[in-house]
Chains A and B, each alone.
Chain A
Amino acid sequence: MSISVRDVHWSAGGAMIVDGINIEVAPGRTLGLLGPNGSGKSSLLRLICRLRNVKSGVVSLGNTDIAAMSRLDIARRVAFVEQQATTDAQVTVLDVVRLGRTPHRGPLSPWSSADDAAVHAALCHVGMPGRAGQLWHTLSGGERQRVHIARALAQTPSELLLDEPTNHLDIQHQLEILGLVARLPVTSIVALHDLNLAAMFCDSLAVLHRGKVVAAGAPEDILTERLMADVFGVRAHIERSAYHGRCHVQYRID
């Protein structure tokens, strides 16, 4: 397994946020992390790249427990795209994407052609190679998100964690970004709110509710009308799309 999470617990301020979660993702696959607000998606992503330390349980990359890895070794392997991280600094798109090379460079080593290649490839992946010189604060929300993803790709990770990467994106860019993530040869875990997009682009899904995994598996197996009512509190009609063959969730408001 590329990423495996075994019986992980984590609490904050006395409340159990992540309550005994088990997840496995095979190399190169994309896992969609679903669940209502506050179900523990963001916390779980932070635990997987050890921005927070697990209270109990084990997170492994490959066969290595991340508790035994240095922060630098984790960063060379796992890239993380936060929700809405921004800055007041007058940085350009290129400055931000170059940050992705940080774990691969020593404190004084010069910028190499390999670094340049990784940065250029990352910018091309998100369709912004011509925007390198643009200032951060002139970008739209969607463009910022794409730059963050480019920064993560410049890290040349084998595992990619994305916390609601399609927030603020118009539908064209949502499809583009998720298509990109699904195509990349890296293992990805994507926290998402849009169930239809999750069903379209993810190989498997895990649904979180109050810090526990309540359903996991292929989209067509776990997205049920019962689950929609129990976890999300909405009534929905779910059918296989005649057009693309994946699950299609239609909400009912009567």
Chain B
Amino acid sequence: MTLAAIGQPVAAEGRWWARLALATLALVVLAFMISLAVSIGEIPIPLATTGKAVANRIFGASFELSRIHEGIVWDYRLSRALLAASSGAALALSGAILQALLRNPLAEPYVLGISAGASTGAVAVMILGFGYGVLSLSAGAFLGAVLAFVLVSALAAGAGGGADRIILAGVAGSQLFNALTSYIVTTSANAEQARGVMFWLLGSLAGVRWPDVYLAAPVALAGFAVAVFHARALDAFTFGVDAAAALGIAINRVRMILLGATALMTAAMVSIVGSIGFVGLVIPHAARFLVGPAHGRLLPASALIGAIFMVTADIVSRIIVPQQILPIGVVTALFGAPAFAIILYKARRPV
């Protein structure tokens, strides 16, 4: 690496066609990973069969396929892969937004207490039986997440607002809800339930079906649209809140919209797949290393890389231990952390 290249983003000042080519390449890679995710599994399915099954369903083609294969592709694996992509994109996007808004490189989607609230909501339904069977686990987790976010926001606003107050309030909220979760689990759960809770907390894509995708994908897309619309406002936060305001950004409104969008995205994903860690914290940094800090490029890059990363992590979680599926949160951290260490090392600042 030459001296000039150290610390410089890999593709920061590319021409527009270079960026377009990069985005296209990322989309192709994502599509390829999704088809791999559909093909790999206990019953291997050739890529051609996958393509035919998808064509049958979407374009009404009539390829001859075994009903079992078509069912596996369409009902189980494709929905699962698409959900992995949606949640990866949404979490990475939330992380990128929060890191800019709070001006803190350690900010991540769970900094607002959302995952802690979701887990409390989930165990309240799973173990205490809240909602009398009407509330699903996901609905309980979503309500818990929203409740935690509202509490944390109120506390942050009461403490005078500001990035550091929001982070501190988030820490307090997370601790509170984590303690509640532990309290419920230790006092009320049997061994079987406790194990189930632990699996849920580490994140799992098992049991994902199309209705989950119909919720997650639009949420991720809408979140992406909102984020890109505010990309320049996020850039303006580079030198802090006052600097952003002096550049004409309506900071309170932008903050409310973006915090709300990240909270909704995160709450939706956490309630469906559990609190998958690491993605929201680290993918934005990886993306920044590739395309630089300008949000017009960073946000799409984070979303795409997050989606690719999560689909890949899902594949790995299914094949790394034979006959067993690892929680996806374990895989994201186990493989993401060393990869991130390499990025940190490569991007080190010349002292």
Contacts and interface: CB of A to CB of B under 8 A. Distances in A.
Interface string B192-230: 000000000000000000000000000000000000011
A100 B229 CA distance: 18
Nearest to B235: A99
Contacts of B232: 102, 105, 107
B247 A75 contact: yes
Contact of B240 (A71, A85, A103, A137): A85
Interface stretch (A3-11, A89-97, A201-209, A220-228): A89-97
Contacts of A72: 248, 250
A49 B244 CA distance: 12
A75 B292 contact: no
A91 B229 contact: no
A193 interface: no
A76 B12 CA distance: 28
Contacts of A73: 248
B301 interface: no
A102 B248 contact: yes
A73 B242 CA distance: 16
A135 B182 CA distance: 46
Contacts of A74: 248
Interface in A220-249: none
Given A51-B245, A75-B247, A100-B247, A85 B239 contact: yes
Interface in A95-122: 95-96, 99-100, 102-103, 105, 107-108
B249 interface: yes
Nearest to A106: B232
A71 B8 contact: no
B293 interface: yes
Contacts of B248: 71-76, 102-103
A96 B247 contact: no
B171 interface: no
A56 interface: no
B343 interface: no
A160 to B, nearest CB: 11
A153 B319 CA distance: 57
B294 A90 contact: no
B46 interface: no
A71 B293 contact: no
B62 to A, nearest CB: 43
B246 A91 contact: no
Nearest to A79: B246
Nearest to A96: B238
Contact of B8 (A76, A135, A137): A135
Contacts of A95: 235, 238, 292-294
Report which residue of A76, A91, A105, A133 has the largest number of chain B beta carbons within 10 angstroms of its beta carbon: A91
A179 B85 CA distance: 56
Closest 4 CB pairs of A and B: A75-B248, A103-B248, A72-B248, A80-B246
30 contacts: A46-B242, A49-B246, A51-B242, A51-B245, A76-B248, A85-B242, A85-B243, A87-B239, A89-B293, A90-B288, A90-B293, A95-B235, A95-B238, A96-B239, A99-B236, A99-B238, A99-B239, A99-B243, A99-B247, A100-B247, A102-B236, A102-B249, A103-B248, A105-B232, A107-B229, A107-B230, A107-B232, A133-B13, A135-B8, A137-B349
Interface of A: 46, 49, 51, 71-76, 78-80, 82, 85-92, 95-96, 99-100, 102-103, 105, 107-108, 133, 135, 137, 155
Given A92-B12, A100-B247, A103-B248, 19 more contacts: A71-B248, A71-B250, A72-B248, A80-B242, A82-B243, A86-B239, A87-B238, A89-B238, A90-B293, A96-B239, A99-B235, A99-B239, A99-B247, A102-B232, A103-B247, A107-B230, A108-B229, A135-B7, A137-B349
